[in-house]
C-alpha cells in the first residue's frame, strides 16, 4: 500500500510522483529500492526528502532525470513534471529536458565534473547546448553565475580544473552549472555532505537564496534533518523505499507521528541537550532492500511494534491537510519535540 503525500492544491502540482517504484536487477538478487512513492511539489516549493543511507532517497531523485541504467532498472508508476510524462520522453526530448527543465546538484562534484575539462568549459558547453549563444556570450553568463554563487576571482576560476578548486568552491561551481540554463526544478542530492560545518551553512543559505530569487521548485535530499529544517517548506521522511511521513516543517518538528521520524529527531544534537549527555541512536540497521520483511519495514527496529506490524503494511492516515503518516499504532501519542 502506498502513502499518498500530495498536498492540497487548487492547481495541478508542478511535480507529481504517483506509485513510483524502482527495481534493480543484474546482481544475485533483485533490489526493490523504491516502492509505491507518491509525492507532489508545487511551483516554487522546497521539499526535503530525508532518511538514513539506503532508504531510496537518491534513487527517487535520479528517477526524475531517468539516470538509472535502463538495462538493469525497471521503473514503474508515473513521473510528471509540468504535465509532461517523463517516462515517455524520447532520447532527444530527454536531452532537452535535462538541464533546461530539471537540473541536478550531485553529491560529490569532484566525481560529477569531468576532470579533463576546465569548469568554465563545462558550464559554457551546457549553456550552448540549450541556448543559441556565442562562446563569448556563454562565457559571460558563466562568469556572472560564478559571481552570483560567490566564487572569488570568477574570471580566473573559469579556467581552473575541478581538482584545482577546494571542496566548497567545487560545490559552488556545481550549483552554477545546475543553474546555467534557468531550470524550473532543481534536484539537490546531499549537496553539503562532504563539506565542513561552516561551508555547509553557507551552501544551504545560498541555495535557499537562489531558490527564492528564481522561484524554482527544489527537491532536496539529505540524511540531516537539521539541514532540511533550514531550507525546506515541507519534509517527506523515507524508510526502506517508502515515504512513511510527510508534512510541513513545523508539523514534523513539533508533532512527529511516525516512530522513525521521532527517532531521527532524537538522534541529533540540539541546544536543549545537557553537556555530556549521550546522543540517542536508532537501534538496529536499515533492512536489506533485496530481502524486505513482510509488513512494516521499520517494525524490527520499532519500540512499539506489534504482531500486525510484522504482517501487513500500515495504512496512511491524515492529521491535517498537509500532514500524513503510515503506522499501525498512530493512536499512541508521540511526544512533541523541542
What are 201-213's pLDDT values in tens digits?
Answer: 888 899 999 999 9
pLDDT tier, 8 (very low <50, low <70, confident <90, very high otherwise): very low
Instruction: Give the separation between CA 212 and CA 240, rounded to whole angstroms.
Output: 32
- Return the pLDDT at 196: 82
Average pLDDT over residues 230-257: 94
Average pLDDT over residues 155-184: 94
Q: Which of 64-68, 236-240, 326-330 has the lowest mean pLDDT?
A: 326-330
Share of the chain above pLDDT 90, in %: 73
- Return the pLDDT at 7: 45
288's grid cell: 536489506
Mean of the per-residue pLDDT values of the chain: 89
Q: CB under 8 Å to 325, separation ≥6 — which residues?
A: 244, 245, 246, 247, 257, 258, 261, 316, 317, 319
- Looking at the predicted structure, is the pLDDT value of residue 224 above 90? no
Contact status, residue 211 vs residue 191, Cβ threshold 8 Å = no
The pair phi, psi for residue 187, each rounded to 5°, is: -105, 125
Instruction: Give the separation between CA 127 and CA 287, rounded to whole angstroms.
Output: 42
- Looking at the predicted structure, is the pLDDT value of residue 40 above 90? yes
Contact status, residue 260 vs residue 239, Cβ threshold 8 Å = yes
Q: What are the strands of the beta sheet with 84-85, ordered from one edge?
A: 31-41, 15-24, 73-81, 84-85
Q: Are strands 185-189 and 217-222 parallel, antiparallel or unpaired?
A: parallel
Share of the chain above pLDDT 70, in %: 91
67's grid cell: 539516470
Q: Are strands 31-41 and 324-326 parallel, antiparallel or unpaired?
A: unpaired
- Return the pLDDT at 176: 94
- Return the pLDDT at 9: 46
The pTM assigned to this predicted structure is 0.89
- Return the pLDDT at 28: 83
Amino acid at each position: 500500500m502506498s502513502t499518498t503525500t500530495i498536498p492540497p492544491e487548487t492547481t495541478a502540482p508542478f511535480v507529481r510522483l504517483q506509485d513510483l517504484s524502482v527495481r534493480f536487477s543484474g546482481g544475485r538478487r533483485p533490489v526493490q529500492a523504491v516502492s509505491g512513492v507518491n509525492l507532489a511539489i508545487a511551483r516554487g516549493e522546497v521539499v526535503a526528502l530525508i532518511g538514513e543511507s539506503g532508504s531510496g532517497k537518491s534513487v527517487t531523485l535520479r528517477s526524475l532525470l531517468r539516470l538509472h541504467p535502463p538495462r538493469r532498472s525497471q521503473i514503474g508508476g508515473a513521473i510528471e513534471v509540468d504535465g509532461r510524462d517523463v517516462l515517455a520522453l524520447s532520447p532527444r526530448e530527454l536531452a532537452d529536458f535535462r538541464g533546461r527543465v530539471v537540473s541536478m546538484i550531485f553529491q560529490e562534484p569532484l566525481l560529477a565534473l569531468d576532470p579533463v575539462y576546465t569548469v568554465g568549459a563545462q558550464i559554457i558547453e551546457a549553456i550552448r547546448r540549450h541556448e543559441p549563444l556565442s562562446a563569448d556570450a556563454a562565457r559571460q553568463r558563466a562568469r556572472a553565475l560564478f559571481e552570483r554563487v560567490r566564487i572569488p576571482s570568477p574570471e580566473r576560476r573559469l579556467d581552473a580544473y575541478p581538482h584545482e578548486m577546494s571542496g566548497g568552491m567545487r560545490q559552488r561551481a556545481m550549483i552554477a552549472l545546475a543553474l546555467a540554463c534557468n531550470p524550473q526544478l532543481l534536484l539537490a542530492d546531499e549537496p553539503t555532505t562532504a563539506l565542513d560545518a561552516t561551508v555547509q551553512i553557507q551552501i544551504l543559505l545560498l541555495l535557499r537564496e537562489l531558490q527564492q530569487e528564481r522561484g524554482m521548485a527544489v527537491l532536496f535530499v539529505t540524511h540531516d534533518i537539521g539541514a532540511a529544517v533550514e531550507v525546506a517548506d515541507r519534509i517527506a521522511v523515507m524508510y526502506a523505499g517508502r515515504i512513511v511521513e510527510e508534512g510541513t516543517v513545523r508539523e514534523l518538528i513539533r508533532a512527529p507521528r511516525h516512530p522513525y521520524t521521532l527517532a531521527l529527531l532524537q538522534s541529533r544534537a540540539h541546544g536543549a541537550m545537557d553537556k555530556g549527555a549521550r546522543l540517542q541512536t536508532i537501534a538496529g540497521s536499515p533492512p536489506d532492500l533485496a530481502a524486505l520483511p513482510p509488513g512494516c519495514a521499520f517494525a524490527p527496529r520499532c519500540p512499539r511494534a506489534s504482531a500486525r506490524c510484522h504482517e501487513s503494511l500500515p495504512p496512511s492516515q491524515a492529521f491535517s491537510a498537509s500532514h500524513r503518516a503510515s503506522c499501525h499504532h498512530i493512536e499512541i501519542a508521540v511526544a512533541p519535540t523541542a
